Chains A and B, each alone.
Chain A
Amino acid sequence: MRKVRKLLPTYLLASGYALLLVLPLLTLLSASLRAEADLYAPGLLPPNPTLAPYGEALAKFPLGRFLLNSLLVATAITLGVLLTSLLGAYALTRLRFRGRELLFGLAIALLLVPGEVTFLPLYLLVDRLGWLDTYLALTVPFLASPLGVFLLRQFLRTIPEDYFDAARIDGAGHFQMLRHVALPLSAPALGALAALTFIGAWNMYLWPLVVTKSREMQTAQIAVNFILNEEVARWNVVAAAAILVLLPTLIAFLLAQRAFVRGIAMGGLKG
């Protein structure tokens, strides 16, 4: 009882602050559950809640296709980053060769290159390759990540030599040691990297905006932009579409919150 009284100020403050932070999302949810006539009715709760805006958004726009595009792109990028980073990090920690430190330094240097600045030359390159408006443009340039190489290298360094030595004595080659020692042991780091990469890829905006032309290739993010433009007066439909686009990342976040938080804490402070 004393403990609760001591914690009461924290509870009150935290609840109030959390409510304030979530308020814009709550008003969006509220708008998505209103008929057009009720859109401007006061109060946070919709007076006559209805799912009609969702039906309209789904009927008018190929939201399933947009979400599928985002899912495909984010999944492909995540799998690619995990694979290329693990391979690269393995070489940087387990193999000895000339220029190893240099290559690690290069990964750090590339970590500092923001994608938003290279989008223009990257666009020109992808255009020359004839990839505009294809899944290739949306995925291939992002299948490797300097952050991934960096994080996994730091992690693999913490695995004791003995584990690999034992595998070597059993006659394992490097690919087998990667598969049977490094891979299972780095599961937590891979999970964190996967969560970070997936949400990052799902949230890409500028790049899909410039490389997609046809509606069929648009990702959910870009679709929101077009729906907002076309339905500028019907905010309930726009809101419904936005909530549908939010759901997958929200669910992914709730399911993998620990991995995700760990990913940000590792990538942000140590990188």
Chain B
Amino acid sequence: MERTLARPSRRTLRLGLEALPFLLPAYGLFLLFMILPVLDALWLSLHREDLFGRGREWVGPGNYLEALSRPEFWRSVGLTLQFALIVAPLELLLGLLAALLVYRAYPGVALFRTLFFLTTAVPTAVAAVAWGWFLHPVGGYANRLLVTLGLPPQPWLTSPELALPTLAVVTAWAGVGFTAILLTAGLQSIPEEVLEAATVDGAGPWTRFWRVILPLLSPTLFLVGLLVVLKSLTAFGQIHLLTRGGPMESSTVWIYRVYQDAFFNFQVPLAAAEALLLFLVLLLLAALQFWLLGRRVHYA
């Protein structure tokens, strides 16, 4: 079978035509709406438009150099990094805690699974509104709780220092369901015998977690972590709804910069350059993820 694959005969070429109606819908759409737009963005990013968006002039790497020389751009890159550095550990920790509580079967586990996985079904806009109210300066429960505890209320979304970390918490919350599902699957793939053997050897829950579960889960944790970073680098809806990139651009992350430059500053080629730079970073991370996945699958 493998040999006929390597050396196509006339029959396989005929089958090639036969495959066309099966392949065309998916791959035609990929070509038109994924591959062409990326090439178009590349083309666009090498040009500059005149003031009325009419003529296009070739500027080579000009837009990239301009993007890279703007302090606003670097600020948004830094903010994106900060954002991801809060979201990823927090979301992993929250998700891991949830997964540890539900990965084994016991009476009532289905209910807890539903509750822990629930945020995957909450649309970004609804999550943003729920948190907008939860963090409301006057009526919000977050501040009411602080006041009850004798602490001063906080300007969660309205201070340049707090806005980005607050958005990161909202993002981690919205992602808990997703990470919990993946980590539950990861925990369930740890062989039961390994855990039993550890118990027989006298390991308590704490030792079992640190010495057995965590080492065996670490490849999964790393992959899920990468996935969470990738997602957090393109977080948009919650930022658009809750802070509009403010206050004082303190939450204008990379993707928000692209949106801002394209749709409000009308610098489309510059925005395309910024988008492609982000694309490059995401692609590198995704390639890393895939390479690791391939290795893991290979050695498993």
A residues bordering B, Cβ < 8 Å?
7, 10-11, 13-15, 17-18, 21-25, 27-28, 31, 39-40, 42, 44, 83-85, 87-88, 90-91, 95-98, 100, 103, 106-108, 110, 112-114, 116-118, 120-125, 140-144, 146, 148-149, 174, 178, 199, 202-203, 205-206, 209-210, 220-222, 224-225, 228, 235, 238-239, 242-243, 245-246, 249-250, 252-254, 257, 260-261, 264-265, 268-270
Contacts and interface: CB of A to CB of B under 8 A. Distances in A.
Nearest to B121: A253
B27 A239 contact: no
Interface-central residue, A22, A25, A142, by most chain B CB under 10 Å: A25
B206 to A, nearest CB: 13
Contacts of A268: 178, 181-182, 224, 227
Given A144-B28, A238-B129, 15 more contacts: A7-B106, A27-B130, A27-B133, A39-B139, A95-B19, A97-B15, A110-B35, A114-B230, A114-B282, A141-B29, A203-B123, A206-B240, A224-B125, A246-B122, A269-B185
B124 A203 contact: yes
B240 A84 contact: no
B134 A97 contact: no
B119 interface: yes
Interface-central residue, A125, A141, A235, A242, by most chain B CB under 10 Å: A242
Contacts of A122: 33, 37
B123 A245 contact: yes
Contacts, number: 279
A108 B124 contact: no
Contacts of A149: 26
Interface stretch (B78-86, B154-162, B283-291): B283-291
A84 B130 contact: no
Nearest to A251: B121
Is the interface on chain B under 10, 10 to 19, 20 to 34, or 35 or more residues? 35 or more
B87 to A, nearest CB: 15
Contact of B236 (A174, A206, A264): A206
Contact of B129 (A28, A203, A261): A28
A142 B33 CA distance: 8
Contact of A249 (B8, B101, B123): B123
Interface in B184-237: 184-186, 220, 223-224, 227, 230, 234, 236-237
A81 B242 CA distance: 32
A193 B23 CA distance: 19
Interface-central residue, A100, A235, A250, A261, by most chain B CB under 10 Å: A261
A254 to B, nearest CB: 7
B271 A120 contact: yes
Contact of B22 (A88, A116, A260): A88
A99 to B, nearest CB: 8
Contact of A269 (B121, B223, B287): B223
B89 to A, nearest CB: 17
A95 B255 contact: no
Given A28-B133, A108-B290, A125 B19 contact: no
Interface string B91-102: 000100110011
B240 A209 contact: yes
Interface-central residue, B115, B120, B122, B126, by most chain A CB under 10 Å: B126
Interface-central residue, B36, B37, B227, B279, by most chain A CB under 10 Å: B37
